Chain A
């Protein structure tokens, strides 16, 4: 069965610190997609990144970076030099190819303190 685990319920950091949000997934499929979304207090889910199961290259986008490791079934998200505007709930999600159905993790609430 598919499952996404975000073990960190809440993280607090001081501005400019680096922070890593963990995501561990389970699936029997060989072809699947992984996603990260940001949900600020306004409630809207903002798409951050998609990664397919055949692409294990790490990705960097500005202060954001993602580390995908199939060997450990993890897809971790790092924010470098965090800012107060990064405060939000971050969700990791898994989708098996062809289904469009997402399995969401429980989310990690990130608080960045000034």
Chain B
């Protein structure tokens, strides 16, 4: 399976600011995804990061709030914009591999004050 890293691993931010999370994979992958996991909750898919085109967002998530970049097949970023305390979550990237199995990065723990 692919090895996935995320930066930062955690951060504490002030409301109204933005944070960019990086996801790096050790091999080229077609499918990359971004998830949010609010405290004590399950995972919710934010968007599919498409290489060379705009990300595909799920219902309830918009590009202005969560802009995503995918400049190549090994890297993606997710920005959480104009943050509020409700954005405090774990943000995880994942990659899709054979037989639709997703492997997840270690996550970024975000606390917004």
Contacts and interface: CB of A to CB of B under 8 A. Distances in A.
Contact of B45 (A35, A50, A101): A101
Given A91-B43, A101-B45, A107-B42, A43 B101 contact: no
Give chain B's interface residue range (CB within 8 Å of chain A): 20 to 34
Q: Most chain-A Cβ atoms within 10 A of its Cβ — which of B41, B90, B92, B104?
A: B104
A109 to B, nearest CB: 9
Contact of A45 (B31, B45, B92): B92
A33 B42 contact: no
Contacts of B42: 91, 104-107
Interface residues of A, number: 23
Nearest to A91: B42
Contact of B102 (A97, A100, A105, A107): A100
Contact of B99 (A37, A44, A50, A99): A50
- In this complex, which of A52, A91, A99, A102 has the most chain B Cβ atoms within 10 angstroms of its Cβ? A102
Contacts of B105: 44
B109 A43 contact: yes
B99 A45 contact: no
Given A43-B90, A45-B92, A47-B1, A102 B104 contact: no
A46 B92 CA distance: 12
B43 to A, nearest CB: 5
Contact of A102 (B41, B45, B106, B109): B45
Given A43-B109, A45-B92, A97 B100 contact: yes
Given A100-B31, A100-B96, A102-B45, A47 B90 contact: no
B46 to A, nearest CB: 12
Closest 7 CB pairs of A and B: A45-B104, A43-B107, A44-B106, A100-B96, A104-B42, A104-B43, A106-B42
Interface of B: 1, 31, 33, 41-45, 48, 90, 92, 94, 96, 99-107, 109
